Structure 1
Amino acid sequence: MQEQVVSFPESAFHQVSRPARYTGGEWNSIARGWDSASLRIALCYPDTYELGMSNLALPVLYEILNRQPDVIAERVFTPWADMEELLRGSRQRLFSLETRHPLDEFDIVAFSLGYELTYTNVLTVLDLGGIPVLREQRDGRHPVVIAGGSCAVNPEPMSDFIDLFFIGEAEEGILELLDTFRAHGAGRQRFLRAAARLPGIYVPALYTPRYNAEGSFESLEPTAPEASPSISRRIVPVLPPPPTRPVVPFVETVHDYASVEIQRGCTRGCRFCQAGMIDRPLRIRDRAQIVDACEELAANCGYSELSLLSLSSSDYPEIEELLSDLQPLCRRQNISLSLPSLRLGPESVRLLESVPGRRSSSFTFAPEAGTERLRRAINKNVTEDDVFSTLEALLKGGWTKLKLYFMMGLPTETEEDIEGISDLVRRIARAGSLSRLSVSVNLLVPKPHTPCQWAAQEDEQQVFSKVELLKKGLRTDRVKLSWSDSHASQVEAALSRGDRRVGKAILRAWQLGSRFDAWGECF
């Protein structure tokens, strides 16, 4: 295959919004010679640059893959509508940021699927990159298209478009997959069959879905000896060292800070939370390793904020000691720390008050439901005493802004539970002198592999009635109420829990112009 580079004139970037999304050349980006490697991988995030560069998986895989002497890993994001139009109008293929090679020149095109409403963007990336969107139309001339991420726990809706799914955590398994590609990459089908023998690998072409007489999905039947009857999710037993040289974007991103994952998994067991279910067991990163990683990140990136990531950061066993260990770095470099996903309780407020360089006067927590009965039903063990003791600690600590997250459409929910949201919020508003109280209410999207996966989702009329009840109960200037788009939530649920037949709807929606469905202005 003759090497090609997209000759995209610099002047063309002036025709699109935020041209730095497409220029590459950022600090810490790795642009090695194309001929220096025998295996070339495009790491694709199916959304804008700003969102993709905030994704935790991307820098992990970028560092792991580019450490391999015979591998090049480069980044690709979904271009915004103006850039898509420009590429199509000029008959140019979508290209990588590092060396501007078109997507179809790579050996492997790997997608990170973290949100179902990005599925049509996957098709846009493939089509713009010169790759047939349907896997059955690809042959040995085309890259192997693989996908992983949290959405891959139900791969079937995207099975018409993806050659191979990696189910689970990829830090170790991706290298095993590359070894298999090196051994069989010259033959596309030989590679896919050999890869199917690896733990956590699902190759859709090697399975046939079966449906019962009513048309409901019944089973997946292997059609080749290499295809396992069941596939277990890959789990990394010990967390590897975190990435410490992430690419530093030219533009502001959604999460504009450096981050270190301090632990993976959660023991809380909220029944609606997919991450808490599939990321088990809990694995805790060594405190000294975290401190060393923060020191390296500060030296390599220049960010003014470091985020200590976890599903529940306050559950890290040595969190107070860790914050103390990081004090010298924060003072020396004028860096602030952030702790997302704190457990509701006054101890979390005290913890935040000890965080070096705290710069925010806002606090966020998630009671999730308006009554203790419903919170117990979803295993969100938060009492009203917890809520008001947290509020008291906030006010004493000088916090002036509070945001609350609730859900509606939970199993066993009644009108009393919805009224309980309004009642709880009104009592919070009366209890203190908050300058801003924001309340966000989202419709439950039942996710696969959670206790809620079989729950019925409420229809638009039911959601409308509950929102009207909330608006009636919160008629006050002291509270800002927002709620999710029920239509988008219903589509997300269908994509999340659907079978292979959903792929036809994804394809048709894309053909009719669906792009960036996760964006409110585009849905």
Structure 2
Amino acid sequence: MRKTALTDEILLSIDKPARYIGNEVNSVIKDLTQVNIRFAMCFPDVYEIGMSHLGIQILYDMFNQMEDVYCERVYSPWTDLDKIMRERNIPLFALESQDPIKAFDFLGITIQYEMCYTNILQVLELSQIPLLASERGEEFPIVIGGGPCTYNPEPLADFFDLFYIGEGETSYFPLLEAYRENKKNGGNKLDFLKKAAQIPGIYVPSFYDVKYKEDGTVKEFTPNVAEAPKTIRKEIVMDVSETFYPKKPVVPFIKATQDRVVLEIQRGCIRGCRFCQAGMIYRPVRERSLDMLKEYAYEMLHNTGYEEISLSSLSSSDYSQLQGLVNFLIEEFKEQGVNISLPSLRIDEFSLDVMSKVQDVRKSSLTFAPEAGTQRLRDVINKGLTEEVIIEGAGKAFESGWNRVKLYFMLGLPTETLEDMVGIAELSDKIARRYYEIPKDQRNGKVQIVASTSFFVPKPFTPFQWATMSTKEEFIEKARIVKQAIKSQLNQKSIKYNWHEADLTVLEGVLARGDRRVSKVILQAYRNGCIYDAWSETFDYSKWLAAFENTGVDINFYTTRERTLDEIFPWDFIDTGVTKEFLKREWENAKNGLITLNCKMACSGCGAMIFNGGVCFEDKN
């Protein structure tokens, strides 16, 4: 009988015990006597969210193709099990073997969102691994961080032995080989870290020193060992059709957030929205071949039993083979009743035609992301979307039978005015009016519009990394203005308005642009009881405020403070390919309301293609 780390009594007393028992369809079981390296792959959130993450599925499959490596999975225990594990001194365990994480060689943590930072400390503490890297002896796993938040790893620098900057399909091979050699030769952890620091994309924070100016900004960031490079270049896969991708993704026993096959059709985005970190750090655009996608769609659906496939991309409409792929999926799987999900589509005639083929028009809603309420502000953020296009797209959707629309906006964007805030309500009303221009006998009931606003957070490696943030009180006032403006619209009863938590946004802003001094705030907040901060039912801002006060760290230094163009940022030692000069140029263009054309229309000279030894779109023609 397969062992479990938890007794039946515990499993019966907690919510969703299937989160912790493993043994799911397509999970990998290996003979431990044939394994040389054990790697625990962690998503620091609840199982259902972690199981929806494509990156872990890719790396899990990639690692387990290596004969002497065994990659297992671990997620953050929910609060009910967390309490029991602490009371009974049960160490956190991997799903596949149910062995304690502290017995592994590596603990790899993917860091997708700033509000998961205290969960990282939860995982370490429940694993009975010292929270601070400086306090870990030879007997503990190497703790490595990866994912988009590692493009500013400094707030977490004290907790990690090393970070992997970039896409995981490249440097893990030499990294694990260095570990094998070091182990074979009897080397210690320091010996391994010195070898790791010489591998492209690997950042060992303990090998660098930071000095600050009197005003609190970074004075200099320098290596303190000969093996550490001054600059860390991100790792990137240029040929995404000839790389690792799982044909047999693990299928959870319980419903995950993304309960379907996920087919990544391309990486990167051509659009150049100035607020979007993903659009900058994942440059350049790389498409997967149609033949590869057809093969993997068939294999993944066959091997999982899923009845839905999602075409994943930052901007699916820009994939050049989209029509051919969708037509193939419709024809190939129509007998099986497979649904096709198409997120991130721009609403145009082709997209509406595709969606009408693959969705139940009367049940589904359309999503538009104007981001700003006026054309002036959309030009500032380089959204590349005019009001005419938005209204025209909505009109065509309504004429095709849709009557439900979701609209996403941001509040607090650079240069925002009262007119921009009111414009959110006015644009929502214009879309509703467009619906009622359709003859009554052709309408599908009443129109339903949900307008949602998030609050703007300036992210590293975007043109807005120099921008100031609003305070919590300013964010709340902006949301109030929009709410009141919606109430004054002709179609107010057809418009529902939602907004994000302001205090959560402020904290996200600190963690996004923080430096190493923020590590002590995260540690104090965790000791104050902060956990699952991304969840409204467990988020406690007062505990975070107490942590800032206890550590003497000023929130406003990281949020509302104006930054000069010559300031050294905590993340400036990372080279993403997109140059700082380009980001400065885009910041100036934003302040002047100037549009930058997308990558397919003209090369903007961002540096990403030169960085990778490639050529721009316009040079290919």
Instruction: Give distance in 2, aligned partners of 1:435 and 1:227.
Output: 59
What's the counterpart of residue 88 of structure 1?
86
Any residues of structure 2 matched to 1:32-431 within 5 Å, and which?
A: 32-185=30-183, 186-239=187-240, 240-355=243-358, 360-431=363-434
Query: Would you say the 8 A contact 2:391–2:430 is kept in 1?
Result: no
Identity of aligned residues (%): 42
Query: Would you say the 8 A contact 1:330–1:356 is kept in 2?
Result: no
Query: Would you say the 8 A contact 1:336–1:359 is kept in 2?
Result: no
Query: Would you say the 8 A contact 2:62–2:245 is kept in 1?
Result: no
Instruction: Give distance in 1, aligned partners of 2:493 and 2:359.
Output: 34
What's the counterpart of residue 497 of structure 2?
481
Instruction: Give distance in 2, aligned partners of 1:119 and 1:356.
Output: 37
Instruction: Give distance in 2, aligned partners of 1:356 and 1:431.
Output: 22
Instruction: Give distance in 2, aligned partners of 1:357 and 1:106.
Output: 47
Verify: 1:19 aligned to 2:17, yes or no: yes
What's the counterpart of residue 8 of structure 1?
6
Query: Would you say the 8 A contact 2:35–2:67 is kept in 1?
Result: yes
Structure 1 window deviating more from structure 2 (472-481 vs 64-73): it is 472-481
Cα deviation, 1:37-62, whole Å, max 9, x if unaligned, reads 01000000000000000111010000
Cα deviation, 1:249-278, whole Å, max 9, x if unaligned, reads 011111111111000000100000000000
Shift of 1:357: 7.5
What's the counterpart of residue 461 of structure 2?
449
SS at match of 1:477: helix
User: 4+ runs of 1 displaced by more than 6 Å?
Assistant: 356-359
Instruction: Give distance in 1, aligned partners of 2:109 and 2:532.
Output: 15
Query: Would you say the 8 A contact 2:169–2:244 is kept in 1?
Result: no
- Structure 1, unaligned runs of 5 or more: none
Instruction: Give distance in 1, aligned partners of 2:452 and 2:102.
Output: 42
Instruction: Give distance in 2, aligned partners of 1:485 and 1:8.
Output: 36
Instruction: Give distance in 1, aligned partners of 2:295 and 2:289.
Output: 10
Shift of 1:6: 6.8
Structure 1 window deviating more from structure 2 (245-254 vs 338-347): it is 338-347
SS at match of 1:365: strand
Query: Would you say the 8 A contact 1:262–1:316 is kept in 2?
Result: yes
Shift of 1:329: 2.5
Shift of 1:522: 1.2
What's the TM-score once normalised by structure 2's chain length? 0.82
SS at match of 1:453: helix
Cα deviation, 1:315-356, whole Å, max 9, x if unaligned, reads 110111111122232213210111111124343222322337
Instruction: Give distance in 2, aligned partners of 1:141 and 1:469.
Output: 56
Instruction: Give distance in 1, aligned partners of 2:292 and 2:358.
Output: 19
RMSD: 1.4
Query: Would you say the 8 A contact 1:344–1:366 is kept in 2?
Result: no
Query: Would you say the 8 A contact 1:330–1:357 is kept in 2?
Result: no
* Equivalent residue letter for 1:136: S
* Equivalent residue letter for 2:179: F
- Structure 2, unaligned runs of 5 or more: 437-445, 540-621
Cα deviation, 1:281-316, whole Å, max 9, x if unaligned, reads 100000010010000011100111000100001111
Instruction: Give distance in 1, aligned partners of 2:336 and 2:406.
Output: 30
SS at match of 2:272: coil
Count, aligned residues: 519
SS at match of 1:333: coil
Instruction: Give distance in 1, aligned partners of 2:331 and 2:347.
Output: 28
Query: Would you say the 8 A contact 1:6–1:102 is kept in 2?
Result: no
Instruction: Give distance in 2, aligned partners of 1:351 and 1:195.
Output: 47
Instruction: Give distance in 2, aligned partners of 1:349 and 1:331.
Output: 19
* Equivalent residue letter for 1:494: V
